[in-house]
Structure 1
Amino acid sequence: MACLFLDFDGVLHPDPCSRDQLFSNMVNLETAMSGIDGIEIVISSDWRKVFYSGGYAAQNVCREVRSPEEMAKHFPESLQASIVGVTPFIGLMDLSDGQLNLQHERHIECLAWLEQHRPAARWIALDDRASSFPSDCEELFLCDRSLGLTHEAALRLRRRLMSLV
């Protein structure tokens, strides 16, 4: 098995985007994954976070993450069974050294999920934020946030995914 850690904003749709553009690149993700067995999707997007206190999400407090089943509702049937988890939110993680380093937040969250669920798995993070990963992270597949996962990028991603299984 191999894991695809998936962001939404800037990947499955441009960021920013209008409501009618939400998930407009989902068909490209389907293209990338079509016919490849052994790839599990783990949601790493901020969409997994449940915020409290009303108002703008960035000002609110995340106290939990949504379930994989809840996140799967955003996906077509062809991909729903591939969704196996959501990464933990670093703000809720018990870090043994007591240090909270947000410099490479998504990377830390992906590694934490792997350690708990698939320690030996190969993986790719599909994201639009290079700053969320170390500059030498070979597992990062970076999207242009203004476009998201284009058809051409999906074909490149497909080759990378095939090399994992």
Structure 2
Amino acid sequence: MILLFLDFDGVTHPRTGSQAFLPTCMTALRNAISNYDIHIVVSSTWRETNRMHELVDYLLPLQKPAVGITPVINDRFLSAVRHHEIIKYLIDTEQQSRRWYTIDDCPGFFPSPSESVYFTNPRTSFNEDDMPNFKKLLKSVWYAQQRFISTNQTPERARS
């Protein structure tokens, strides 16, 4: 299973204009993640003004479970704050070894370079043009996880 940390503004709809999720963005996202065992964690600022059940409803078109939200770290002097929120979520949920990926539109929220982050264009959000590159990166994360599992799975562990 892979955790996908998902931003909304600039990903599910362009950063400017309507706040409504664009069906074309949601369809492109659904198509990009459909073949993977993915659970979604909301990393968007929407987590600060919406309840979990509302966030889950927004994400229903993706046909993947929304399992949580990242904690909010309010530290204006901290760089790469969203990255730190993701790491805190992983620690708090005891999933530090879990493979994860994020889709966001703000490079300043993450350390550079960051191979676990896919950046969208905030003016166009996630769309069909993003799919080949995102799927390629997602596939590499998935294969890395499978290699890790197979090399660390002894027969005794497999039975327990």
Q: Which TM-score bucket, shorter chain as reference?
A: 0.7 to 0.9
Pairs aligned (count): 140
Structure 2: unaligned runs, 5 residues or longer: 143-160
Instruction: Return the TM-score normalized by structure 1.
Output: 0.76
Which residue of the partner structure matches residue 112 of structure 2? Answer: 135
Specify the structure having the higher radius of gyration (Cα): 2
What is the letter of the counterpart of residue 163 of structure 1?
Answer: S
Partner of 2:130: 153
Which residue pairs with 1:87 in the alignment?
70
Segments of 5+ residues of structure 1 without an aligned counterpart are 51-64, 92-98
- Provide the C-alpha distance between the structure 2 equivalents of 1:22 and 1:71, rounded to a whole number of angstroms: 12
Aligned counterpart, 1:35: 35
Cα deviations by residue, 1:78-126 (Å, 9 ceiling, x for unpaired): 52x42111000113xxxxxxx7643211000011011122111111110
Aligned residue for 1:74, secondary structure, equals: helix
Task: Give the distance between the partners of 1:78 and 1:100, measured in 2 at CA.
Answer: 33
Match runs of 1:6-21 below 5 Å: 6-18=6-18
SS at match of 1:90: coil
Structure 1 residue identity aligned to 2:5? F
Q: Do the aligned partners of residues 158 and 82 (structure 1) sit closer, same or farther apart at CA in structure 2, a change above 3 Å counting?
A: farther
Q: Which has the higher strand share?
A: 1
Q: Structure 2 counterpart of 1:75, which letter?
A: L
Rounded Cα–Cα distance in structure 2 between residues aligned with 1:75 and 1:10? 15
Compute the displacement of 1:34 (Å).
Answer: 1.2
The structure, 1 or 2, with the larger RCO (C-alpha pairs under 8 Å, 6+ apart) is: 1
* SS, match of residue 102 in structure 2: strand
What residue in structure 2 maps to residue 48 of structure 1? 47
More helix by share: 2
Identical residues among aligned pairs (%): 33
Moved over 4 A (4+): none
